[in-house]
Structure 1
Amino acid sequence: MDRIEQFAPPAGTAGTTTDVGGVIERMRGFRSHWPPGDGVAVFNEVYLTVTETLGRHLSDGAFRDREAVSTLDVRFAERYLAAVDTAVSGGLPPECWRPLFQYRLHPGVRPLQFALAGINAHIGHDLALAVVDTCRTLGCAPVDLEEEFERVGDLLVMLEEQIREDLMPGPDLLQVADPLTHLAGAWSLERARDASWSAARMLWRLRGAPPLAEEFRSRMDAGAGLVGRFLLTPCR
């Protein structure tokens, strides 16, 4: 079997999503197709947990502007789903995602590294673009989304702490000198989220100058890709 076909989602799962439920359905489809040890599957499970939690918060009225949060979540998820579709069809996804797809079966990379590399790609590149996409969809500016952005960000930070706790090896397996200790401590979702908000505001200001906006996006993509390769340094 061709390596790309081996990781292809089940037939009928590709395509545009229109709501949070559709995003969850597609990610659950991935879960049923990829083996648990696959690095992309590890990130997918993390992202599915985040999206299911956000969906519950949308349902119970935790967000003041449900339309803005739902739109941002879908535009955000579309970037990840598009990267998967591109990779499994034999194309090149954005640079930020390439390390995760390249090392997805590396035996020396631990689950926590896969999770952090995926989060880094999604927050370090996709989130800023999703904010701009959402502004265009809703006819607003980034400042109008700031409150919802922060509330979603707080949820992500809380879940990141749980992810680290669940995926970090136990104290009997992980010593202070273990490279994973340094890799896990070198990256912060909160800092990445703040940088993404600044990038979104910059991209919005550059929307009237497409060449400059694309150059900025390309450099942001390359930077996130570089960090991703660092996070996936084999630890065993």
Structure 2
Amino acid sequence: MSVKQAATIDEVIQLLDEIIEKSKLEQSAIGLFAILYREVTVKVKEGIRDGSFQNGERMEKLDVIFANRYLKAYYQYQAKEKPSECWGFAFEQAEKFWPIVLQHLLLGINAHVNLDLGIASAQVSTVEDIGDLKSDFDQINAILSNLVGGVEKCLIKIWPTLTMILKWTGKMDTFFIDFSMQTARDGAWKFANEFVAVPENQIEACIQLRDQRITEIARLVSNPGYFVSAVFKFIRLFERGTVAQKIMDMQIMEENNMECAVA
């Protein structure tokens, strides 16, 4: 299988659509993050069109570089090649029964924001001008954070048992979202500022070291301790429907602008 890469935001959306449809056919939980990421990409495209970003041309370039890192990892994994370690871990978890929907989303966010976003941000910048990117960088993260929060509300409607459990446990899902998004945003920006200054002959070693650190965060999301893991397993037992049905539920959320109008 060849590694498909996008040249425009529209091509990113097209390739994500292909991944989503393939995931439904194969009952693969990989499609859950792909749905969320497609919505992020659509929102970025709309923001560029509406002039919401400081530099729309730079933002489209960043978005495509950012997406191509995910696409490369996906196609490498499908071809049984070795992607970055944190993406490989996330994709492996998608083949397992126990992770809940929210964990699948957070594993994707962890790899894509903590590793890929910092690299992409550095690649559209120089040491001298990377500070000019900060506002647009934060806006991408705000879009992602808002969409994850919307998914959380919709999941509660799809799986009513979740409401009772979250009240009982003090909303551990919100903790995980806050942990993932706030830590990812700040860490990715710090990494981008460090990475943009790395000499060319040290780039691969720097990426590998960062990848290892982000994989450790992924392991925490996957196995957050005995009590939380037990609660998540209880939630998983009450998740209804096949993986394909869950992906379609998330597509309905997207089509209804995350208004939770799920049939």
Which TM-score band (shorter chain)? 0.7 to 0.9
- Corresponding residue for 1:55? 45
Match of 2:130 among 142, 147, 156: 142
Identify if the C-alpha distance between structure 1 residues 85 and 182 changes in structure 2 by more than 3 Å, giving closer, same or farther.
same
Show the 5 A alignment for 1:88-167.
88-135=78-125, 141-167=129-155
Residue 210 of structure 1 pairs with residue 201 of structure 2: yes
Q: Is residue 84 from structure 1 mapped to residue 79 from structure 2 by the alignment?
A: no
Whether the aligned pair in 2 keeps the contact of 1:68 and 1:148 (CA below 8 Å) is no
Deviation of 1:141 (Å): 3.4
Inter-partner Cα distance in structure 2 for 1:128 and 1:66: 18
**Aligned amino acid, residue 143 of structure 1:** G
Deviation string 1:24-46 (CA, Å, 9 cap, x unpaired) is: 00001111111285221111111
The aligned amino acid for 1:210 is: N
Structure 1 contact 40–101 (Cα < 8 Å) conserved: yes
Contact 2:5 2:68 in 1 (8 A): yes
User: Which residue number in structure 2 is paired with residue 4 of structure 1?
Assistant: none
Contact kept, 8 Å, 1:99 with 1:232, in 2: the verdict is no
Q: Does 1:71 align with 2:22?
A: no
SS state of the match for residue 187, structure 1? helix
2:155 aligned partner, one-letter code: L
Structure showing the higher helix proportion among its residues: 2
How many Å apart are 1:55 and its aligned residue? 1.2
Residue 184 and residue 153 in structure 1: after superposition, are their counterparts in 2 closer, same or farther (change >3 A)?
Answer: closer
Equivalent position SS for 1:64: coil
Question: Counterpart amino acid of 1:28?
Answer: D
Q: CA RMSD in A?
A: 2.6
| Gaps in structure 2 of 5+ consecutive residues | 224-228, 234-263
Counterpart among 11, 14, 29 of residue 18 in structure 2: 29
Q: Distance in 2 between the 1:67 and 1:182 partners?
A: 34
Say whether the 8 Å CA contact 1:160–1:189 is kept in structure 2: no
Superposition pairs of residues 186-205 of structure 1, within 5 angstroms: 187-205=179-197
Q: Which moved more, 1:51-60 or 1:117-126?
A: 51-60
Between 1:38-47 and 1:143-152, the stretch displaced more is: 143-152
Contact 1:23 / 1:77 at 8 angstroms: preserved in 2? yes
1-structure distance, mates of 2:112, 2:12? 15
Residue type of the partner of 1:98?
G
Length-normalised TM-score, structure 1: 0.83
Supply the distance in 1 between the matched residues of 2:174 and 2:8 (Cα, whole angstroms). Answer: 38
| Count, aligned residues | 221
Contact (CA 8 Å) 1:39, 1:104: kept in 2 or not?
yes
Matched, 1:20 2:9: yes
Q: 5+ residue gaps in structure 1? A: 1-7
CA distances 1:199-232 after superposition (whole Å, capped 9, x unpaired): 01111122x2522x43332221011112112212
> Could you tell which deviates more after superposition, 29-38 or 69-78?
29-38
1:104-141 deviation per Cα after TM superposition (whole angstroms, max 9, x unaligned): 132211111000110011011111111122227xx973
Deviation at 1:102, TM superposition (A): 1.0
More off after superposition, 98-107 vs 158-167: 158-167
2:211 aligns with one of 189, 202, 221: 221
